[in-house]
Amino acid sequence: MTQDLTLDEIRDALAEGIAANAAFDGWGDAARDMAAEAAGIDRDVARLAFADGAVAMIDAWFAAIDRRMAERLPSETLAAMKIRARISALVEARLAIVAPDRESLRRARAILALPQNVAQAARLGWRSVDLMWRLAGDTATDYNHYTKRTILLGVYAATITVFLDDESEGYAETRAFLARRIDGIMRFEKAKAAFGKRYEHRPSLSRFVGRLRYPAL
């Protein structure tokens, strides 16, 4: 029953309904109230759940997209793909999920681009690309963890920009753009790995100084 839901559960329950309304009414009270009414949730409770306003609604929607992306591409499906195909499939799954609500996404990006929301926008973007890499099987914990996510965040943001104005059949232009950018990521990763191997066994000044200070016993 809806009266037994926690505020987190209410946010989850209303996120996609609010997004559907936001295309026409913006990310505001009207979109939230209509979603609450459709879900049988008291408007005052919905207002409490989204006390932080539009950014909280967008946050909940992006989290819902993350969940649906993970559901569409379970680990057993991704395991059968090469890493490039995994990343491409995950980004394309996100695009397919948001396709019915492109105008809502356009409005959400405009809100997140406001100076007071830039930090939150970066957090939301990082959360999504981190999930994509983890679903793709990435386990890096060193600087590679951050470089991979930073690069994918740029690729995803650029792809969304193309996607929002893409009128080609089946979003063919967006898919081609994404493919080129994913190729760039893979080339970078290969070059980085080759560079690391090339210099792995070369003399290291820091290791040399360390051995002088702490000789082996």
Is the predicted pLDDT of residue 57 greater than 70, yes or no? yes
* One domain, residues 87 and 139: yes
* One domain, residues 149 and 97: yes
Is the predicted pLDDT of residue 196 greater than 80, yes or no? no
Mean pLDDT of 51-70: 98
* One domain, residues 137 and 89: yes
Q: Give percent of the chain with pLDDT exceeding 70.
A: 85
Which pLDDT band holds residue 191 (cuts at 50, 70, 90)? Answer: low
* One domain, residues 87 and 116: yes
* One domain, residues 129 and 73: yes
The domain that contains 173 carries what CATH number? 1.10.357.10
Length of the chain: 217
* Distance from C-alpha of 191 to C-alpha of 187, rounded to nearest angstrom: 6
3 found inside a domain:
yes
Residue 101 DSSP class: G
* One domain, residues 138 and 184: yes
What pLDDT is attached to residue 116? 97
Letter for the amino acid at 78? L
* One domain, residues 145 and 161: yes
How many independent structural domains does the chain possess? 2
pTM: 0.85
* One domain, residues 34 and 64: no
Is the predicted pLDDT of residue 197 greater than 80, yes or no? no
What pLDDT is attached to residue 183? 87
* One domain, residues 82 and 137: yes
Inter-helix orientation angle 118-135/83-98, to 10°: 130
Mean pLDDT of 120-129: 97
Letter for the amino acid at 119? A
210 found inside a domain:
no
76 found inside a domain:
yes
Domain that holds residue 7: 1-51
What pLDDT is attached to residue 168? 96
Residue with tokens 């926690």: 6
